[in-house]
């Protein structure tokens, strides 16, 4: 368990790796002080001790010292290697995604954070998460470069135009923590702030239940795929299939026309929607039109979530460990009427957050 940071100006330590970042930082501070203080003292001491007492004095010559030279090689080596190993350890912990986790999608936009949960709940500039649970964020942006920064969790990752980036954390304390944009992104960059609400698992379940609104990412993706964009006319199974098979591909290698392979990951799916000619699957013609400019980043995320679900990779694969059973695509697909009713009944207590979503969308 972590406690409040004992340095007053530091934010809370509220994630599993926050203390590691802090200790690395303290270590760097100590190393800096251990080198700089003796250096300053020596400057003044030597200035006095060896001041000129006699004009044109000849100093005594020194012919090297094995002990001294070994010491000033080995000590800095140890110091720099401990900094490197400590930094590598902390970095690995932060940027290697855990296998299991609750997935959340984040889209940056001038000047707000749009967040969607795997159960379909949407938020703006607020992120509700359960305590003691791995949370995996997939981030992108509709416009400029932004950076998703939660100081209390000691983690930050850029949201980069045209690609997906990932962040994970496991919050250790319930509470409300600052969320910042940490990359200058235009006029209202400084206003692109929000809060992360870390809730007990029970409170989080209640929050999810009171906020089911609209489609889950997978449902939204299926709707786009089958109806709005007409992807299914070529990609659905059957004898007339003209587009590449999408079932079971996610995470696997795909053979390409003209040789070579590619792993079908989120980035590849995204690229294939926006620039279908770039990497055509072997055995298919490059006949697919681009959807660039026709789909928003949120719709792209939904399409990716749906195509992942065709491979049995549901966004909620990690939710068994969190107990968010209601958020599996199958469950929510079967549940819309009931969910809609209970959501309507619960509208009263969510009006503070929900109406923001359509309002924000209409700003676009
Ligand atoms: Cu977004 Cu700064």
Q: Which atom from ligand 1 is nearest to the alpha carbon of 145? A: 1
Q: What is the pLDDT of residues 71-89, one digit of tens each?
A: 999 999 999 999 999 999 9
CA of 180 to the centre of ligand 1 (A): 8
Q: Closest residue (by CA) to atom 1 of ligand 1?
A: 146
Q: What is the mean pLDDT of the chain?
A: 80
pTM metric for this prediction: 0.67
CA of 191 to the centre of ligand 1 (A): 8
Per-residue pLDDT, averaged over 329-356, amounts to 39
CA of 23 to the centre of ligand 1 (A): 28
Q: Which atom from ligand 1 is nearest to the alpha carbon of 190? A: 2
Q: Which atom from ligand 1 is nearest to the alpha carbon of 186? A: 2
Q: Which atom from ligand 1 is nearest to the alpha carbon of 146? A: 1
Task: List the one residue out of 198, 85, 95 whose CA is nearest residue 152.
Answer: 198
The verdict on whether omega for the bond into residue 16 sits within 30 degrees of 0, i.e. cis, is: no
Residue 286 structure tokens:
């490059």
Q: What is the pLDDT of residues 97-130, one digit of tens each?
A: 998 899 999 999 998 999 988 888 888 999 999 9
CA of 139 to the centre of ligand 1 (A): 13
Measured from the Cβ of residue 107, the count of other Cβ atoms closer than 10 Å reads 21
CA of 105 to the centre of ligand 1 (A): 17
Q: Report the pLDDT value the prediction gives residue 317, as an integer from 0 to 100.
A: 44
Q: Tell me if residue 360 falls in helix, strand or coil.
A: helix
Helix axis angle, 266-274 relative to 297-309, nearest 10°? 120
* Residue 185 and residue 117 in contact, taking contact as beta carbons nearer than 8 Å: no
CA of 195 to the centre of ligand 1 (A): 15
In whole angstroms, what is the distance from residue 222 CA to residue 117 CA?
A: 16
Which residues have any ligand 1 atom within 6 Å of their CB? 108, 111, 146, 181, 183-185, 189, 192
Q: What is the pLDDT of residues 259-299, one digit of tens each?
A: 888 888 888 888 888 888 888 888 888 878 888 878 888 88
Q: Which atom from ligand 1 is nearest to the alpha carbon of 108? A: 1
């Amino acid at each position: 368990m972590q406690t409040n940071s004992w340095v007053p100006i530091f934010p809370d330590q509220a994630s599993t790796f926050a203390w590691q970042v802090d200790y690395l930082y303290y270590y760097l501070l100590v190393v800096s002080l251990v080198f700089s203080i003796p250096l300053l003292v020596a400057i003044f001491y030597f200035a006095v001790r060896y001041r000129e007492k006699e004009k044109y004095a000849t100093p005594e010559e020194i012919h090297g010292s094995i002990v001294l030279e070994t010491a000033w090689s080995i000590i800095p080596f140890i110091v720099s290697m401990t900094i490197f190993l400590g930094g590598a350890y902390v970095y690995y912990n932060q940027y290697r995604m855990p296998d299991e986790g609750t997935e959340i999608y984040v889209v940056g936009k001038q000047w707000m954070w749009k967040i969607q949960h795997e159960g379909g709940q949407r938020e703006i500039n607020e992120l509700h998460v359960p305590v003691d649970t791995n949370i995996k964020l997939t981030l992108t942006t509709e416009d400029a470069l932004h950076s998703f920064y939660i100081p209390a969790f000691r983690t930050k990752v850029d949201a980069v135009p045209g690609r997906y980036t990932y962040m994970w954390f496991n919050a250790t304390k319930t509470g409300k923590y600052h969320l910042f944009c940490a990359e200058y992104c235009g006029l209202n960059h400084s206003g692109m702030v929000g809060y992360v609400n870390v809730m007990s698992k029970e409170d989080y379940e209640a929050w999810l239940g009171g906020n089911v609104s609209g489609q889950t990412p997978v449902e939204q993706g299926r709707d786009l795929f089958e109806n709005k964009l007409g992807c299914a006319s070529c990609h659905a199974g059957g004898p007339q299939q003209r587009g590449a098979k999408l079932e079971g591909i996610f995470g696997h290698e795909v053979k390409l026309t003209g040789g070579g392979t590619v792993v079908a990951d989120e980035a590849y799916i995204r690229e294939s929607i926006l620039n279908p000619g770039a990497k055509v699957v072997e055995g298919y013609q490059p006949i697919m039109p681009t959807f660039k400019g026709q789909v928003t980043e949120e719709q792209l995320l939904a399409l990716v979530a749906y195509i992942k679900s065709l491979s049995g990779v549901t966004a909620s694969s990690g939710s068994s460990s969190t107990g968010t059973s209601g958020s599996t695509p199958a469950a929510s697909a079967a549940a819309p009427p009931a969910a809609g009713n209970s959501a309507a009944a619960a509208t009263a207590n969510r009006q503070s957050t929900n109406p923001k979503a359509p309002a924000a969308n209409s700003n676009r």
